[in-house]
Amino acid sequence: MHRFLLLLFACLAGLAPDAHARTTEDEQLWVNLTAMGPVSGKIVYFAELQPRVWDGVSRLDQMILRGAVGWKLSPSLTVYQGYAHVVQPVEGGRDVNEERGFQQISWVMGKPWGGELSSRTRLEQRWRSNGDDMGWRLREMLRYEKPLKPGSNAVNALVYGEGFVALNSTDWGAKGGFDQLRSFVGAELGLGGASTAEIGYLNQYIDQRGGNARVNHVASVTLFFRH
């Protein structure tokens, strides 16, 4: 398993360019509250509320409201159509709002080494209130979880990496090409029934214009309410 995880992160890290001379860092807290489950037959849904606090965990950076309806093509493969509204407060100014349509494929790829390997592919269409262009962005996540105690899912070790690629440049600041890389390590905890909590450290590397980069050190807390 250790060799697999090293290979996973090496492949994802290969998406990012070399570290830039000018790099800013920040400590943040991200909370994700997600409800999900079946609607009828093969139709499923998820709905998310995500506040993100930045600037040394002192003020709100973003609030994300996101939801989607999906169709289970098989027990391991689901496709979704969704929409997200993102609010970014601006100190002393008008909030920047972003609207996103997205299509998503969630795939449980298999169960290697006694754990579970899965993939999430998401294509986004993005509009922001401070520009006129529509931005296209592709996101790919690889995720692996493994029970710490064989035969029990009470506590799972969890790692994932997600690469972002902007497919075009926009008048509101998106730059075509590599956008960011998120890497997470932590634990998944059973909360009773099928609900879970994911707690751990997330490293967000963002490639910025003008040869700059940003690294966010994030305490990440996610609650999945499944029914």
Spell out the per-residue pLDDT of the chain, length 227, in tens.
Answer: 445 444 444 444 444 455 445 899 999 999 999 999 999 999 999 999 999 999 999 999 999 999 999 999 999 999 999 999 999 999 888 999 999 999 999 999 999 999 999 999 999 999 999 999 999 999 999 999 999 998 888 999 999 999 999 999 999 999 999 999 999 999 999 998 999 999 999 999 999 877 789 999 999 999 999 99
Q: What is the pLDDT of residue 6?
A: 45
Strands (E), 20-95: 22-40, 43-54, 59-74, 77-88
Place of tokens 């790692």: 159
Instruction: Provide the pLDDT for residue 151.
Output: 81
6: three-class secondary structure by DSSP: helix
SS3 for 97-157 is EEEEEEEEEEEEEECHHHCEEEEEEEEEEEEECCCCCEEEEEEEEEEEEEEEECCEEEEEE
pTM for the structure as a whole:
0.89
What CA–CA distance (Å, rounded) separates 78 from 108?
Answer: 9
- For 184, half-sphere exposure in the C-beta direction (CA atoms, 13 angstrom radius) is 25
For strand 134-149 and strand 177-192, is the pairing parallel, antiparallel, or unpaired?
unpaired
117 token code pair:
């390997």
The amino acid present at 43, given as its one-letter code, is I
Can you give the pLDDT at residue 2?
Answer: 45
- pLDDT at site 150: 85
State the architecture of 2-226 in CATH terms.
Beta Barrel (2.40)
Question: What are the residues whose beta carbons fall under 8 Å from the beta carbon of 40, sequence distance 6 or more?
Answer: none
